[in-house]
Structure 1
Amino acid sequence: MMTAGLVLAAGEGRRYGMPKALVRHRGKLLVEHAVETLRLGGVADGVVVLGAAAERVRAAAPGLAGTVVNPGWSSGMGSSLRAGLAALEGTGAQAAVVLLVDMPGVTPEAVRRIAGHASPDALVMGGYGERRGHPVLLGREHWAGVAATATGDRGARDYLRAHDVLVVPVGDVADDTDMDVPADA
């Protein structure tokens, strides 16, 4: 069964001062780091959703495969999640592991643990003690429901709260802190 990666990298990074996809962290762009994390975690190439500065991101990271531009990126992460899931519809993927571009502490091992539970009906989140976080796995059977409820910056949050979700501990191998401002880098 194929599990695809889905990197949400469309925001303009208002608090950061620039699109986070273009931020350099440990020698690579955050968008390259996210794609590599998925690949090393055993997840097939999937989709990178771009928006703000999409052409600059493509120029800075020419090795990105499977990019899609979300024309509604300014409305929030929900529209990027919808755009990414729509792009995966035409593939053979039965599940998608979702990563946010601004979480470089999520590791390939965390992705492997989450992806190990992939199935068309799966909903899986990384567990950090009592808190749920990324990576998130969405089985294909849930894509339409997630897309229908993904609005603003809430992404899949409302859908996941309304359904049974398997929480897999990953806090021992990952950190899902997001980089909101340059001091976080």
Structure 2
Amino acid sequence: METAGLVLAAGEGRRYGMPKALIPYPERLLVQRAADTLAEAGVARSVVVLGAQAERVRAAAPGLPATVVNPQWRTGLGSSLRAGLAALEATPAGAVVVLLVDMPGVTAEAVRRVVSYAQESALVMGGYGDRRGHPVVLGRAHWAGVRAVATGDSGARAYLRTHAVRVVPVGDVADDLDLDVPELNPHA
């Protein structure tokens, strides 16, 4: 069964002061880093969801895999997740592994670990001690349900809270640093 990759990179980064897709970390843009992480993990088909300054991102990161533009990116992460899942509907993927552009500590090994549990009925999250986080695997059987509840900046959170989720420890090979503000970026 094929597991596709999905990078959510559409936001304008209000708290950061610029779209996070365009932030260097350290030598690659965050958007390229996330796409490369999926490729390094062996994910053959990926989609990157863009929004704010989409053309500038495409120009700055010409080696990205397939991209789609979320015209509703201002409404938050949920609309980007819906746009990405819609873009993958026509593919043979039985599951998708989701990465957020602003979490550069997620590694290819963390992706491989969660993807090893991927199947059409799977819901899998990376575990960092007592916290659950990315990467997240959504089996195709859940895509319609996730799309139905993905609003604002919560993404799949509401859906994942009401369904059985396998948590796979990844804290020994990844971290869940979320670059919301420049002060958190050690490479700024």
Normalised by the shorter chain, which TM-score bucket? over 0.9
- What pairs with 1:20-59 in structure 2 (closer than 5 Å)? 20-59=20-59
CA distance in 1: counterparts of 2:169 and 2:179, whole angstroms: 22
CA distance in 2: counterparts of 1:71 and 1:46, whole angstroms: 19
Using the TM superposition, give the Cα deviation of residue 80 of structure 1 relative to its aligned residue in structure 2, in angstroms.
Answer: 0.1
Cross-structure match for 2:136: 136
Using the TM superposition, give the Cα deviation of residue 48 of structure 1 relative to its aligned residue in structure 2, in angstroms.
Answer: 0.2
Cross-structure match for 1:184: 184
Cross-structure match for 2:170: 170
TM-score under structure 1 normalisation?
A: 0.99
1:140-173: CA deviations, max 9, x gaps?
0000000000000000000000000000000111
1:75-120: CA deviations, max 9, x gaps?
0000000000000001111100000000000000000000000100
Using the TM superposition, give the Cα deviation of residue 176 of structure 1 relative to its aligned residue in structure 2, in angstroms.
Answer: 1.2
The answer on 1:90 being equivalent to 2:90 is: yes
CA distance in 2: counterparts of 1:65 and 1:44, whole angstroms: 10
CA distance in 1: counterparts of 2:147 and 2:61, whole angstroms: 28
Cross-structure match for 1:81: 81
Using the TM superposition, give the Cα deviation of residue 125 of structure 1 relative to its aligned residue in structure 2, in angstroms.
Answer: 0.2
- What pairs with 1:140-151 in structure 2 (closer than 5 Å)? 140-151=140-151
CA distance in 2: counterparts of 1:151 and 1:17, whole angstroms: 23
Cross-structure match for 2:124: 124
Structure 1: gaps spanning 5 or more residues: none
- Percent of residue pairs identical: 73
TM-score under structure 2 normalisation?
A: 0.97
Q: Calculate the aligned-residue CA RMSD, in Å.
A: 0.6
Number of matched pairs: 185
After superposing on structure 2, the runs of 4+ consecutive aligned residues of structure 1 that deviate more than 2 Å are none
- What pairs with 1:103-114 in structure 2 (closer than 5 Å)? 103-114=103-114
- What pairs with 1:146-157 in structure 2 (closer than 5 Å)? 146-157=146-157
Using the TM superposition, give the Cα deviation of residue 26 of structure 1 relative to its aligned residue in structure 2, in angstroms.
Answer: 1.5
Cα contact 1:94–1:139 (8 A) shared by 2: yes
CA distance in 2: counterparts of 1:87 and 1:15, whole angstroms: 28
Cα contact 1:43–1:115 (8 A) shared by 2: no
